[in-house]
Amino acid sequence: MKWLYPAAWLLWLVLCALIGVAFASRAVHQAEGELERLAGRLADEISQRLNVNEAQLDSYAGFSTFGLHQGTLTEHGLLLRKFKRYPAIVLGLRVRHVTAAERGAFEHELAAKTGRPVIIHGYDPARQPPRYPLAEGSDHYPVVSMVTAGELPPLFSPALGMDLARIDFLYDALRQSLQRELPALSRPFALADGRLGYLMIRPADEVVLQPVPTLQANHQFVALVLSTESLLPSALELPTGLRVQLWHQRYRQQDPQGRFLDAGSEVRSPLETLLFPRLELTRSSGGSTPSLMLKASWQLGWAQISLFEWLVMALLALVLLAVLLSCVNALLRRYVDQVAREQELFYLGNHDALTGLANRNLFEDRLQHAISRVRRNGKRLALLFLDMDRFKPVNDTYGHAAGDRVLQLIAARLNVVLRSEDTVARLGGDEFVVLIEDVESELDVESVRERLQLALQEPYEIDDGTVSLGVSIGTAFYPDDGVLIEDLLGTADRTMYHAKQKAAVG
């Protein structure tokens, strides 16, 4: 039963692991709901903010289409009011499609309005200088008006004439807006103040649909450049292990060029990564035409389990441990009681109830084993058959209780004289037998016999007086006097009888 405690500890560990899995599963379920709510809230807020920005762009487009003849100052004033009310707007601009044949007239017209030479040019921050002239022979999409907060009127902007077609990601947004007849977003790009911004652009005039929409001559567009910060909540607090990414859907998630936002971190300890799952949720987001992708990924960890849940798990673990140990202790007590009962029954079945010495059954069993050993090692063994003289008068004179007491004293003296490896048994009445193993010579047996006689002939103190007894001892040797148990006992009994007759005659 020694395995019970290790088994109980192992079962306790398994049950504790199951409790942990149950609480972790509950925490994962809660985290899934929380992630769903967080991603939904972020997607909705981003969509709402884009809708607001689209509304501002629509009002600007309406003014450009129907109120252009009121003058540039009116347009400038309109944008300044928007800058003041919506700080996320960095600048507003109008773009026009100019064919190669119209380029000269366009540059002449724009120079006449500004009072200084204006040419259609490209812009590349990687070049020095970033503004560079363009060759003739292709269509252009130059900026015809640009207004920034607190800057000069649009006709005096140095960006006039910048060709959006030479900037791939801006031209891509321009094409998308025309194909959908709706506002389109560009990928994010660096602003002059170091922040990230993006372009929202839409047609400002009536579009004639073609089977495959293409840019047509005389198209005008209006655009707003906005800070990417305007898309995000003012206070974006993310739980530990949660990462939020927002990118343009025309780019791959891993492409940093199309990334609007990458907040939070999924870094966790190796053990947390091994034990807890990683949750992911991807949603599209945007205004009238969703063009952004939002992904929330959450590597869960220990923090998902609250302190209260840890305390509950600890309490459950302690209760389980107490129950298991109680069960083990009960089983062990039951086992010990069963073994004790079996040992008691074995003792009662193999020992004399009065003296505690081995009875005939146990003696014969030990004698049989001793004979088997002697056969293997070639040694001898001896039996001493003892019969007490003058014992019957003790019962007649002092009673059977006194006789029983004398028998107990005899057994005690036998145990003192004999070795621990020798076997002494009571065969019945006042008859005893002694088994001596590994006999070297008969002299050794004779020495034991003499010590037994001296010890057993000493007076016995009982309640009613002193009793003196004699003892007759017979001897038999294996294999000299027989090879069977009955033969050895018979020989020892005969020699004892002869010794008793000899003592009576003497």
Q: What is the pLDDT of residue 257?
A: 92
Residue 34 lies in a domain: no
Confidence of residue 214 (pLDDT cuts 50, 70, 90): very low
Give φ, ψ of 179 to 5 degrees. -65, -35
Residue 441 lies in a domain: yes
**76 and 214 belong to one structural domain:** yes
Domain endpoint, select from 216, 231, 246: 231
Expressed as residue numbers, the domain containing 402 is 351-505
- Rounded Cα–Cα distance for residues 295 and 284 (Å): 9
- Rounded Cα–Cα distance for residues 17 and 10 (Å): 11
- Rounded to an integer, the average pLDDT of 457-478 is 90
Q: Which of 72-81, 264-273, 456-465, 491-500 has the lowest mean pLDDT?
A: 72-81
Instruction: Find the Cα–Cα–Cα–Cα dihedral 253, 257, 262, 267, rounded to 10°.
Output: 70
- At residue 29, the 3 state secondary structure works out as helix
Q: What is the pLDDT of residues 14-55, one digit of tens each?
A: 999 999 999 999 999 999 999 999 999 888 888 888 888 888
**225 and 374 belong to one structural domain:** no
* Inter-CA distances, 259 with 168, 196, 199, 293, Å: 16, 10, 14, 10
CB atoms within 10 A of CB 21: 12
Residue 203 lies in a domain: yes
Q: Is pLDDT at 81 greater than 90 in this prediction?
A: no
Q: Is pLDDT at 404 greater than 60 in this prediction?
A: yes
- Rounded to an integer, the average pLDDT of 83-96 is 85
Residue 57's H or E segment, with its range, is: helix 4-66
Q: What is the pLDDT of residues 100-145, one digit of tens each?
A: 888 888 888 888 888 888 889 888 877 888 888 888 778 899 998 8
* Residue given tokens 């007590």 in the structure block: 333
Q: 317-334 burial, b if ≥16 CB within 10 A, otherwise e? A: beeeeeebeeebeeeeee
Ordered DSSP codes for 228-257: GGGGS-SS----TTEEEEEEETTS-TT-GG
- Rounded Cα–Cα distance for residues 384 and 107 (Å): 141
Cα–Cα nearest to 426, from 373, 359, 374? 359
Looking up residue 220, the CATH number of its domain turns out to be 3.30.450.350
Q: What is the pLDDT of residues 101-113, one digit of tens each?
A: 888 888 888 888 8
Q: Is 161 left (phi over 0), alpha (psi -120 to 50) or beta?
A: left
Looking up residue 386, the CATH number of its domain turns out to be 3.30.70.270
Q: What is the pLDDT of residue 145?
A: 83
Domain endpoint, select from 207, 231, 255: 231
- Rounded to an integer, the average pLDDT of 399-423 is 91
Residue 329 lies in a domain: no
Q: What is the pLDDT of residue 267?
A: 86
Token pair listed for 255: 């492409």
Token pair listed for 418: 């004999």
Q: What is the pLDDT of residue 73?
A: 45
Bridge partners (DSSP) listed for residue 89: 226
* Mean pLDDT of all residues belonging to the chain: 86
Pairing, β 423-428 against β 380-389: unpaired
Cα–Cα nearest to 31, from 233, 241, 237, 232? 241
Bridge partners (DSSP) listed for residue 224: 92, 200
**197 and 53 belong to one structural domain:** yes
Residue 134 lies in a domain: yes
Q: What is the pLDDT of residue 385?
A: 94
**76 and 217 belong to one structural domain:** yes
Confidence of residue 180 (pLDDT cuts 50, 70, 90): confident
Q: What is the pLDDT of residues 216-248, one digit of tens each?
A: 445 789 999 998 887 877 667 888 899 999 999
* Inter-CA distances, 50 with 47, 119, 223, 235, 426, Å: 5, 34, 13, 18, 108
Q: Is pLDDT at 80 greater than 80 in this prediction?
A: no
Q: What is the pLDDT of residue 208?
A: 40
Domain endpoint, select from 179, 210, 231: 231
* Residue given tokens 């079962």 in the structure block: 11
Residue 367 lies in a domain: yes
Cα–Cα nearest to 225, from 56, 66, 84? 56
CB atoms within 10 A of CB 235: 5
Q: Is pLDDT at 249 greater than 50 in this prediction?
A: yes
Cα–Cα nearest to 204, from 119, 145, 130, 250? 145
- Rounded to an integer, the average pLDDT of 396-425 is 91
Q: What is the pLDDT of residue 77?
A: 67
Q: What is the pLDDT of residues 379-403, one digit of tens each?
A: 889 999 999 998 988 888 888 899 9
- Rounded Cα–Cα distance for residues 141 and 219 (Å): 9
How big, in percent rounded to 5, are the helix, strand and coil portions of the chain? 50, 25, 30
Residue 356 lies in a domain: yes
- Rounded to an integer, the average pLDDT of 156-162 is 73
Q: Is pLDDT at 499 greater than 70 in this prediction?
A: yes
Task: Give how many domains the chain has, as a whole number.
Answer: 2
pLDDT greater at residue 70 or residue 234: 234
Ordered DSSP codes for 425-457: EEEETTEEEEEEEEE--HHHHHHHHHHHHHHHT
Confidence of residue 207 (pLDDT cuts 50, 70, 90): very low
Cα–Cα nearest to 113, from 105, 103, 122? 105
Residue 55 lies in a domain: yes
